[in-house]
Every structure is written in C-alpha cells, then in structure tokens.
C-alpha cells in the first residue's frame, strides 16, 4: 500500500512530519475521535459559561 505522509512547514520554517494517515477511514476515525472529545469538553464549558452569564440574574430573582 502506498504510504501518505502529511508534512507541513512550521512557523520557524522547519518541515515536520505531523502524523501518518494512510486511508480516508483513518482520517475520519481520527478527526471524529478528536471532535467527539472536544464536544464533551465544549458541552461542559458552555454550561459553565451559562452559569457565569446568568449567576447574578438568579441571585437578583431570589431577592
């Protein structure tokens, strides 16, 4: 099988091998896996942000 290696130029001009992704299946598994983890973190973070945004509303309504 032909190996596909992703190379990119970094900010300092060096060529670096970032990762090896051989097939589209691997690409989707990798990106979806990372995205699912991010989604879990995001849901927790947005809940925290909502509490931060509305915390004083609740205190005022209790007064």
Partner 1 sequence: MSEDAATVANKPFFSPFNIVAAAVMFLGIILTVLRFTKGLDAVTNLSDYNPWGIWIGFDLLVGVALAAGGFVTSAVVYIFGMKQYSSAVRPAILTGFLGYALVVLALHYDVGRPWRLPYPFLVQQGPTSILFEVGACVALYLTVLFIEFSPVVMEWLGFRRARELVVKLTILLTIFGVVLSTLHQSSLGALFLIAPSKLHPLWYSQYLPIYFFITAIVAGLSMVIFESSLSHRFFSNKMDRVHLEGKDVLPLGFGKAAAFILAGYFIIKVIGISASDSWHYLSTGYGLWYLVELLGFVALPAFLYAVGVRDRNTKLIQITAFWTVLGVILNRFNVSLVAFNWHLPSSERYFPHWMEIGISVFILTIGLLVYRFIVTRMPVLYEDKSYDSH
Residues of the shown chain interacting with partner 1 in the complex, contacts defined by CB under 8 A: 6, 8-11, 18, 27, 30-32, 34-35, 38-39, 42, 45-46, 49-50, 52-56
Both tokens assigned to 7: 């190379």
Class of residue 21 by CB neighbours under 10 A (exposed 0-12, middle 13-18, buried 19+): middle
CB of 18 to partner 1, least distance (A): 5
CB of 8 to partner 1, least distance (A): 4
Of residues 1 and 53, the one with the C-beta less far from partner 1: 53
CA distance 49 to 43: 10
CB of 2 to partner 1, least distance (A): 19
Which of helix, strand or coil describes residue 17?
strand
């Amino acid at each position: 099988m032909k190996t596909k290696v992703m190379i990119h130029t970094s900010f300092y001009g060096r060529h670096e091998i970032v990762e090896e992704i051989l097939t589209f299946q691997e690409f989707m598994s990798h990106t979806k896996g990372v995205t699912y983890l991010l989604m879990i973190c995001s849901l927790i973070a947005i809940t925290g942000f909502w509490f931060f945004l509305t915390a004083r509303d609740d205190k005022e309504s209790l007064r």
